[in-house]
Amino acid sequence: MILKGKKTILRPLRMSDAPRFVKWLADPEVNKFANRHGVTLAEEKEWIRKAKKNKEEMSFAIDTKDGTHIGSLLFFPIEKDLGASFGISIGDKNYWGRGYGSDAINTILKYSFEKLKFHHVRLAGNGVFDYNPRAIRAYEKIGFVKEGLLRERFFYDGKYRNIIPMSILESEWRKKNGKIYSKTKKLA
């Protein structure tokens, strides 16, 4: 499946993506927000093989409209009444802060709310790390709401850190983003 946003394309993973993932996960500035660190090329290829077979989640590469691979998005559809969750990483730092992550998120939200008819979507992995203010601002700008605080749930950089659960309801997303991603546009 391929989903098209304004700035990004979410497409299936390819084995040719593996070297970029390895490079990104070896970069401390990138992997401080990732759950996987320092993987080998063989390990990453095996991860991609397994991800492609996994029927409980959808793994996407994030490409720019010109076909540059810049990151990944994992989507976990559960069921209509329970909603879905997702995790995102823009591994190519040249694309940080330029709206590509927000566009990819809005693209998966459009699919979630319009195609799958989910009521809400939440962040995977219990939420966002408290030491990632750029991501928190991006989620809030899209319309995500903080749902609380998971205190000292993650050990990073020598101390325990908090995780902030966040989610968005279909009505909140539509109110915030409806003009950009309207119901009249056909899903890819």
State residue 188's pLDDT score. 46
Which are the contacts of 150, defined by CB distance < 8 A and separation ≥ 6? 126, 127, 162, 163, 164, 165
Cβ contact 149:41 at 8 Å: no
Task: List, in sequence order, every residue forming a beta bridge with 59; answer none if it has no partner.
Answer: 74
Buried b (16+ CB within 10 A) or exposed e, 39-50: beeeebbebbee
In sequence order, what DSSP letters do the residues of 8-37 get, joined into one string?
EEEEE--GGGHHHHHHHHH-HHHHTT-S--
pLDDT tens digits, the chain, 188 residues: what are they? 899 999 999 999 999 999 999 999 888 888 777 766 678 899 999 999 999 888 888 999 999 999 999 999 999 987 667 789 999 999 999 999 999 999 999 999 999 999 999 999 999 988 999 988 989 999 999 999 999 999 999 888 899 999 999 999 999 998 887 655 444 444 44
- Residue whose C-alpha is closest to residue 22's, from 39, 5, 10: 39
In this prediction the pTM is 0.87
State residue 29's pLDDT score. 83
Sign of torsion, CA 147 57 178 169?
A: negative
Tokens coding 108: 């998966």
The three-state secondary structure class of 69 is: strand
**Architecture of the domain whose range is 3-177:** 3-Layer(aba) Sandwich (3.40)
Report the catalytic residues. 139
State residue 178's pLDDT score. 62
